[in-house]
Amino acid sequence: MRIIALVGLMGSGKSQVGQALARRLGWTFADTDAEIEARDGRSIPAIFRESGEADFRAVERAVVRGITKRRRMVVATGGGAVLSAASRRLLYEAGPVFYLRVPVEVLAGRLGADPGRPLLGDDSYAALERLSAERETLYADRTIPVDAAAPVDRIVDEILGYLADARRRVRVDLGPRTYEVRVGIGALALLGVDLHGLGARGRVAVVTHRALARRFGEDVTAALEAAGFAPHVMAVPMGERAKSLQQAGRLYDALAEAGLARIDTVAALGGGVVGDLAGFVAGTYMRGVRLVHLPTTLLAQIDSSIGGKAAVNHPRAKNLIGVFHQPALVVADVETLRSLPPRERQAGLAEAVKYAMVLDAELFGVLEGQENAAARRWSAQQAEEIVFRCASLKARVVETDEFEEGPREVLNYGHTVGHAIEAALAGRYVHGEAVAIGIRVEGQVAVRLGLLASEEARRQDALLARLGLPVSLPPGPAGPLLDAMRLDKKRRDGRIRCTLPEGIGRARLGVEVSETLLGEVIHACQESS
């Protein structure tokens, strides 16, 4: 959603509504007629009089073409902009198009005999009736109709309500801690509206790192300021080094310096690391303040931002010090995924395969059937579908086991070996890549134990490879990986336990796996095998 366009007959209020809507969103406003006059150097009546309507429409098409390349803009189009099929297509591709619909008699009363409207002629009512009949089909094509005879504020509320409802919603039902995950294209634009819906007011600490602040900070702060919030952007280092008590302490200082109170909000803008750190700080500052997740990676959108787990690292272990602190809201804007490096975008797909293997055979089929398997080639609509499906599955699991007391272990598939790979081969693989290899290894363990059919394991491995994920380990002894698994938090009574698939879409929890079997499978899954 780069822009929001308004179409309709002259006098329908596109400029007034557009300016009010832009103020509510913290976006800029553009009027195609005004841009035409600025570009041509003549008024619109002068262009019609001196050059004719055909020349005017050519300039109009060029202006629409340029305006649809911009972003964060509300655009009021001229009444005849829809006459060009090319212009209509560009507007539809750039974002939602709202048709401001007004009865002809109301339009005639608004316009009267306006000499600045060259198409009205001497009989404005008859001209408007004719234009309405000629253009109604074009105005209504692929647009969202709005009753524009209403007051401006009511029209803007209706448009914002439509945009809010157009996002896909996942409810995480946890009684008094219930919240929603809102998934959509351009979903961050409505952040200020969303927070008002929660009853939030006052200050918002946006925790992020500098690169993300440069990419999305302006969008987020503009949305917050337009809704009356006071945002404070707080940058933290990139990578796992940010997840420390020392960095948490710096954030406590920054929150206190900014004057954040218990009624205020911490917003985590970033991936899993930012979400972990901000969630930990939000859960412990003043014994807990409102937390909102704004995940910008695929992994965070489908997994880590949902469920309330937050932790920082300790020299002795990763995620050793943590809390359960559920967010008040998760806003997953799939447009943010476009900014990810290709490797990071691909890595997040490992979690999607995990969900499919242990919870949802239908999702597995969806992933297999993607025409463009690699995430870097997905359309925004494809990404939205995958994020929504995975978020729905994560919500279902969290609802049954909020505090990770048992059933939530289903989400550990691939992670026993994956975490060991991260620990033993530090820096070689990002998290999703390690999990993908872990899924392959643990899938083979399930085959050896008679839980998973060989053909289903082959389908799984083929899907991982088609999605651009690694499925083999480098050559080397299995000892370091086994050592890391002995320290895994999922280990019980001195034994390694795994979540293993019993078929595509279902799993068995807490399966005890011998170190001998794990060592054999690890060797079988190495690159030289």
Of 330, 394, 384, give the one whose Cα is nearest residue 360. 394
Amino acid symbol at 347: A
Displacement of CA 498 from its chain's centroid (Å): 31
Query: Could you tell me the sign of the dihedral formed by the alpha carbons of 367, 370, 373, 374, in that order?
Result: negative
Amino acid symbol at 268: A
* Whole-angstrom distance, CA of residue 377 vs CA of residue 41: 42
User: One of 14, 101, 325, 415 is an active-site residue; which one?
Assistant: 415
Sequence-distant (6+) residues with CB within 8 A of 142 are 88, 92, 97
Q: 408 an active-site residue?
A: yes
- DSSP code per residue over 240-264: GGGSSHHHHHHHHHHHHHHT--TTS
Q: 415 an active-site residue?
A: yes
Is 270:300 a contact under the CB 8 Å cutoff?
yes
**107 sits in which H/E element:** helix 104-111
CA angle 145, 148, 150 (to 5 degrees): 130
Q: 419 an active-site residue?
A: yes
Q: 325 an active-site residue?
A: no
Of 60, 130, 77, 68, give the one whose Cα is nearest residue 95. 68
User: One of 408, 433, 442, 456 is an active-site residue; which one?
Assistant: 408
User: One of 50, 287, 316, 371 is an active-site residue; which one?
Assistant: 287
Contacts 24+ apart (CB under 8 A), 114-117: 115/45, 116/43, 116/44, 116/45, 117/10
Q: 394 an active-site residue?
A: yes
Q: 489 an active-site residue?
A: no
Of 411, 389, 391, give the one whose Cα is nearest residue 401. 411
* Whole-angstrom distance, CA of residue 231 vs CA of residue 76: 29
User: One of 232, 412, 440, 456 is an active-site residue; which one?
Assistant: 412
Of 263, 324, 302, 291, give the one whose Cα is nearest residue 207. 291
Instruction: State both tokens at 340.
Output: 């990810």
Q: 309 an active-site residue?
A: yes
* Whole-angstrom distance, CA of residue 510 vs CA of residue 412: 10
The conformation of residue 116, written as its DSSP 8-state character, comes to T
Is 440:353 a contact under the CB 8 Å cutoff?
no
User: One of 309, 325, 345, 354 is an active-site residue; which one?
Assistant: 309
- DSSP code per residue over 20-71: HHHHHHT-EEEEHHHHHHHHHSS-HHHHHHHH-HHHHHHHHHHHHHHHTT--
User: One of 35, 335, 351, 442 is an active-site residue; which one?
Assistant: 351
User: One of 431, 433, 440, 456 is an active-site residue; which one?
Assistant: 431
Q: 385 an active-site residue?
A: no
Annotated active-site positions, please? 287, 309, 351, 394, 404, 408, 412, 415, 419, 431
